[in-house]
Chain A
Amino acid sequence: MAEPIPASLDAEALRQQLEQFARSEGIRQWDLGASCSTNTSVQVDRGEPKQMKGSQRSAITVRVWNDDGLVGITSTSDLSEAGLARALEGAREASAFGNPDPAETPAFSPLATAPLPPLEQPRGETLSILTLLDTLKQAERELLERHQAIGTVPYNGLSQSSSERIYLNSAGACRHQPLTSASLYLYARAEEAGRKPRSSGAVRLAYSADQLDVAGCISEAAERTIAHLDYAPITTGHYTCVFSPEAFLDLIGAFSSMFNARSVLDGLSLSRRESLGETIAVPFLSIHDNGLHPGNIGAGTFDGEGTPTARLALVDGGVLQHFLHSEATARALGVAPTGHAGMGSKVSVGPDWFEIGATPGSGGGEAGLDRFTASGHSAAEGRGLVVIDSLSALHAGVKSSQGSFSLPFDGWLIQDGQQRSIEAATVAGDIRHVLRGIVGFEGTPKVTHEGLCPWVWVEGLSITGDS
């Protein structure tokens, strides 16, 4: 069969062409972000291929600054000469409607030509789609064999991708990053006679499909699914909760506008300009953003403005330390860009990969956890302890500008030494209270595809159940 041909971007050809078009249009300042990728993926259903997909994609975004210094932008998937010319023309037209506020008008990042950090990213082999299919069929078969109640794996997929991205600007910046990656997800559905179906799963990422931890993914999906088979409703009330690393990372990610300078400047964040230096959490909490962590498969070495990716302390010792920045927000607040920008006429800002854990030397809340131990796990003997394995519907149940959340979750109630899965329930609270209500961390921080985090104990969260 015809295998996908790894695409590549010719940065120098792009530059020459844009310079030529810009000259002819009288455009003196421009920049460009481009990407192309090839991807293949498979899904299976009870031993048969369900869907096999392939794609070749390309995209560019062009920004131009007009004579008044206003910025316009246009994006396209048409990388032909005609497409580039039209994009440049569209960006110039849009620049007439650029934001006239100099503080909000993007400029080139002063770090767009700074050295990039070294990053070990092995480029993996591209496997044939039939090999991917065989691998996934085998994984599905093994997962189905783990427990008689597991009847299907309705959500599954194995994909691999080869991609490149480029950032260029008219001041000579030229960034280029090739990358390969692969992902596997397995979500099983289990059902026992007379009982409701239960579902859970696992995800793995790697630089290539042959490096994926398939066995680990199968085991985790099986264990998590089986662990939810014996379920019961929970009584509505307030509980001490233990968040899994994945669940706590999801929660922090949903409220990342607390650390986002763009949201701060727009008045959409719980934080204000003056919030830096304020205590927002228990004194042993540390949160860093570190896109360069080796566990962050697919890390970018530069952001949408060409600024190098870097590790940044957001919270240390419970104190808000820094915000995530683009060039414009950094300029507005008098600091350096942090490498978290997208690309636009209004540049978005976002986190890369969180490292959450104990502030060095703080003990990580051992005293808090000891309190539970010393009292003979009083919580577990009374109302019980709720373990939150995974959160759902974050797009609907989080009000990031208000700080509130109300989210369905899968988890267990630990009571009187017994652990039992919880039937449909939600956990609700306020992120500010969560950060101040952390009792302690348990276990070694775990590397997940979203970040690094230990198990996190939090007191006093509202749980709504069916009981």
Chain B
Amino acid sequence: MVVSATASIASSAGDLQNPLWRNRLEALLSQGRAAGADLVEVFLERTDHLGVLAEQERITSVSPAFGMGAGIRVFLDGLDGFVSTNDLSDSGLVLALEQALGMLGLRCSSSAGISGSASSLFQGLPELRDFGVTKYDWLQRCPRLDESTGRLLEGTALLERHGSHLQARRGTYSRDWQEVLVAASDGTFARDIRLHQSLGLSVLAADGEHRASLGRRYGTTDRPDDLRQWDAEASAQDVCASAGTMLYADYVEAGQFPVVLANRFGGVIFHEACGHLLETTQVERGTTPFADMVGQSIAHEAVTAIDEGLSGGAFGSLSMDDEGMEPQRTVLIENGVLLRFLSDRAGELRTGHSRTGSGRRQSHAFAAASRMRNTFIAAGPHTPGDLIASVDRGLYCKSMGGGSVGPTGQFNFAVEEGYLIENGSLTRPVKGATLIGEAREVMPRISMCANDLELAAGYCGSVSGSIFVTVGQPHIKVDTITVGGR
């Protein structure tokens, strides 16, 4: 062993398919319940990650990583204590449990180790719900290093072929494999294997003082062959066309305009402006203006919004959430009326909103929280052209950058590729725009939804870490919004 505390904290990854885990977990849960906890939950994970970076004609970074760990959460009277550890030995897990219990003023009756004896408060785990049973070979079916590096280099070569004035070309590939096992004293016992792959192409175009940096990211879940099936040609053409257009774009004039947001990643506006405010995490904090508005109108009647974890292959899809619950299709808003919130175990306990299979976390180091999965505004009756034609003077946001929402509900996000709308038509490209507003004010201004709903992959950082999500929408029109610019 190479790491030591007073005792060693070194550990062995173990195999989460090993049936011995049942006894170990039952002993932990039993000890926690015997100590007085209302509920004990153990989240175990193993991970295998690969990151590859291609720049110009070279692979410049290959970064494999693997790991394991456990997160133990104990609930008592609505409060909880959470401890994470890389030490999956018996003593390491017991220490973590004791710390979690101690946070709530509880003590294990015995700290000698996992005894295996079940207390009368915990009747043992049921049969394992194994969502990973058909996924054992996914990691092996993913492209090997030579194949993945080859495809990335194909992408950067295509950027060179289709672009002009390119100062830098980059391709990135990320493969995240995760095996999780969740056990809780309420009878939860489930296992899953997840596979997320994402690909990105980006360029920096420069011509004298003119510069434009643009990128696209694609991501799927549970599709080992995804990289093989990637249409590198189309991706490169898309990125280069946008970079070429934006290279000479003027900065947008600041002001308040009607805005038409394109489909796919345009959905980040709903994700940031409203989606986060419909997580029970925000209800608990008292930071959502919608906390007491279930059944009331919070958006234009054109808006129906959904969060689900079910769309095949979508980046935010799950067979089970990180608390062992199967994800649901959750209609958040229907025709402008707020129907429900996204909730996890703690959210249900503290706010009364029933769980929706939305308990998610980046890794064992985070306690699960209510988080979005695949979140989108439903398609409407119009064509994208109808929306643009309805605007005399405004902004068309073809591609969005990232964004965020603050503790008072104010949101902002960057427009990566924008065009002026003049007299119902797209005219000049413009850059440097930021859309800012407040959810409660903007949602009633989404007055038109088109019929071209599409999803786009992204990452969402929040209280339980960075997680895989999709955002999505059809083209939508916001009647007026503040556009930050020059």
Contacts and interface: CB of A to CB of B under 8 A. Distances in A.
A27 to B, nearest CB: 16
A51 interface: yes
27 contacts: A1-B98, A5-B6, A5-B9, A7-B9, A49-B103, A52-B82, A54-B81, A54-B103, A55-B83, A55-B85, A74-B65, A78-B13, A79-B3, A80-B11, A96-B145, A152-B285, A346-B53, A393-B403, A393-B412, A393-B414, A402-B212, A404-B251, A404-B432, A406-B434, A408-B410, A428-B254, A428-B432
B3 A7 contact: yes
Contacts of A97: 52, 59, 62, 145-146, 149
Nearest to B149: A97
Contact of A84 (B2, B5, B65, B287): B2
A120 interface: no
B167 A395 contact: no
Contacts of B55: 266
A54 B254 contact: no
Chain A: number of interface residues, binned into ranges: 35 or more
B295 interface: no
A8 interface: yes
Interface in B382-428: 401-404, 406-410, 412-414
B84 interface: yes
Interface string B54-79: 01001111111111110000000001
B256 A392 contact: no
Interface string A46-60: 001111111111110
A392 B406 contact: yes
B349 interface: no
A199 B406 contact: yes
A93 B66 contact: no
B81 A81 contact: no
A309 interface: no
A403 B211 contact: yes
B12 interface: yes
Interface of B: 1-7, 9-13, 52-53, 55, 58-69, 79-87, 92, 95-96, 98-105, 107, 111, 145-146, 149, 167-168, 204, 211-213, 251, 254-256, 284-287, 365, 367, 401-404, 406-410, 412-414, 431-434, 436-438, 482-486
B408 A267 contact: no
A170 to B, nearest CB: 16
Interface stretch (A9-17, A210-218, A349-357, A374-382): A9-17
A10 B482 contact: no
Given A236-B254, A346-B53, A401 B482 contact: no
Interface stretch (A99-107, A142-150, A172-180, A279-287): A99-107
A189 B287 contact: yes
**What 3 A-B pairs are tightest by C-beta distance, nearest first?**
A1-B102, A426-B484, A77-B67
A401 B204 contact: yes
A129 B3 contact: no
Chain A residues touching B, majority SS: mixed
A344 interface: yes
Contacts of A199: 406-408
B5 A7 contact: yes
A397 B434 contact: yes
B173 to A, nearest CB: 12
Given A9-B4, A75-B63, A87-B66, 14 more contacts: A54-B81, A54-B99, A79-B9, A91-B64, A97-B146, A197-B409, A266-B55, A392-B404, A392-B412, A393-B402, A396-B401, A396-B412, A406-B414, A428-B486
Interface of A: 1-10, 13-14, 17, 34, 36, 45, 48-59, 72-84, 86-87, 90-91, 93-94, 96-101, 104, 129-130, 151-152, 154-155, 187, 189, 196-199, 236, 266-268, 344-346, 392-393, 395-397, 399, 401-404, 406-408, 424-426, 428-429, 462-466
A13 B2 contact: yes
A129 B103 contact: yes
B2 A78 contact: no
A345 B63 contact: yes
Contacts of A407: 434
A398 to B, nearest CB: 9
A424 B82 contact: no
Contacts of B438: 196, 424
B66 A9 contact: no
Contacts of B67: 59, 75-78
Nearest to B13: A78
B484 A406 contact: yes
A57 B414 contact: no
